[in-house]
Amino acid sequence: MTTDRWRLLGAPTFERAGSVVGLPPAKAVALLAYLCAVAEPVERDRLQELLWPESFGDAGRKTLRNALWALRQALGETAVVTVGGGRLAVGDGAWIDLLELARLLGARVAADRTADAADLAAAVALYRGPLLDGLSLPDAPLFDVWLTGQRERLDRRMMRAVAALADR
């Protein structure tokens, strides 16, 4: 069982072996959250465009490498893994609140409110606030647009979860 815990809901916090670790740079945290939310491998070029739109070519690749290094220093070598073909994904070595929330709510709560009451209660207890609360990247407008959309989507899902729990 992993002892690494990443909380991306509310203000981001990270634990390794039960101890809170210092936050990596904001863009590294944003990179990790994006990879967690999309839950599939993402092209390096897409990540560079999303987070470092002002950096091109070698400069963009270097900034991405630096962010990956910062994540690995703070969270371990398996935080973000290369899956081939220039794509990156989140490693499977940590418990991640965003992924746990998705598991607890599933797709059904949005459609017909048939999720298990215990899962709904656990999801409501898990939700500490908006995704990456307090984080904003004004120099990465595409990321800020994506983050705003994710926050709104999660807020709607949580409202449905609370309503379904209240119905029970």
pLDDT digits (tens, 9 = 90+) for 30-75: 999 999 999 899 999 999 999 999 998 889 899 999 999 999 999 9
Question: What are phi and psi for residue 94, nearest 5 degrees?
Answer: -135, 155
Is a pLDDT exceeding 90 seen at residue 15?
Answer: yes
Band of residue 114 on the pLDDT scale cut at 50, 70, 90: low
- H or E, element range at 108: helix 108-112
Q: What pLDDT shows up at residue 168?
A: 80
Q: Is the pLDDT of residue 1 over 60?
A: no
Measured distance CA(120)–CA(141) in Å, rounded: 33
Please classify residue 162 by burial: count the beta carbons closer than 10 Å to its beta carbon, then call 0-12 exposed, 13-18 middle and 19+ buried: middle
| 79 closest CA partner among 124, 88, 104 | 88
Q: Residues 110-135: what's their mean pLDDT?
A: 84
- For residue 113, name the pLDDT band (cuts at 50, 70, 90): low
Confidence check: pLDDT of 111 > 50? no
Question: Dihedral of CA 54/86/3/155: which sign?
Answer: positive
Strand, coil or helix: what is 24? coil
Interval 71-104: pLDDT, tens: 999 998 888 888 888 899 998 889 999 999 999 9
- pTM > 0.85: yes or no: yes
